[in-house]
Amino acid sequence: MATAFTVNGKRVEVTTDAETPLIYALRNELGLRGTRFGCGGEDCSACLVIVDQTRRCSCTYLVADAAGKSVQTIEGITGNIADILREAFVEAGAGQCGYCLSGIFVTAHELVAGKQRPSIEEVKKSLGRHLCRCGAHAAILRGIGKAIDAVDELGGYRND
Ligand code: FES
Ligand code: FES
């Protein structure tokens, strides 16, 4: 039986077994290969996606649970803030092999696109569940910091 949900604003129906983790339907059936499989046990966040505004590990979140919901993957994160963040990552040399970056980008975009300027403590706390085996955390943090500064300079945050 097919499971229907929305991915990056488009309604889809997948035939991947409903008891299978969502990442397999995203990558293998829908061809959305930006979401990465790491630990398979909610320890690295490489597989992070947004489901109905909540961050979920797609390595354990089942296809059945996505039925009728709205899923956003890295491919669906577009627009000015995403462009600023991507550029800042490149400038900061954030990442080496890049395997962890899809999940980190999902979290970082949520932070940078918020209404108020996030503090470095908030950034570090949000990234706490993301593992990077290359040890590129310092450069990744620099990249996110650059993006926050760029959005701030454009007047993108509230002051209250
Ligand atoms: S692959 Fe999902 S948390 Fe590591
Ligand atoms: S850049 Fe290689 S795992 Fe993070």
Nearest to 110 by CA among 90, 87, 135, 85: 85
Question: Is a pLDDT exceeding 90 seen at residue 73?
Answer: yes
Pocket test for ligand 1, best of 22, 44, 51 (most atoms within 8 A of CB): 44
pLDDT band for 149, please (50, 70, 90 cuts): very high
Place of tokens 């570090």: 124
Question: Is a pLDDT exceeding 90 seen at residue 1?
Answer: no
Place of tokens 């470095």: 120
- 102-128 pLDDT, tens per residue? 999 999 999 999 999 999 999 999 999
Cα–Cα distance, 121 to 119 (Å, whole number): 5
Ligand 2 proximity of 132 Cβ (cutoff 6 Å) = yes
Atom number of ligand 1 nearest to Cα 40:
1
- 75-109 pLDDT, tens per residue? 999 999 999 999 999 999 998 999 999 999 999 99
Q: Give me the sheet containing 10-14, strands edge to edge.
A: 10-14, 3-7, 70-72, 48-51, 54-57
How many CB atoms are located within 10 Å of the residue 111 CB?
18
- 10-50 pLDDT, tens per residue? 999 999 999 999 999 999 999 999 999 999 999 999 999 99
pLDDT band for 159, please (50, 70, 90 cuts): confident
- The pLDDT of residue 160: 67
Single-letter amino acid code for the residue at 85: L
Atom number of ligand 1 nearest to Cα 60:
2
- Structural domains in the chain, CATH included, are 3-76 (3.10.20.30), 80-153 (1.10.150.120)
Ligand 1 proximity of 43 Cβ (cutoff 6 Å) = yes
Ligand 2 proximity of 95 Cβ (cutoff 6 Å) = yes
Cα–Cα distance, 24 to 117 (Å, whole number): 35
Ligand 1 proximity of 44 Cβ (cutoff 6 Å) = yes
The whole-chain average pLDDT of the chain stands at: 96
Cα–Cα distance, 29 to 131 (Å, whole number): 26
Ligand 2 proximity of 151 Cβ (cutoff 6 Å) = no
Question: Is a pLDDT exceeding 90 seen at residue 158?
Answer: no
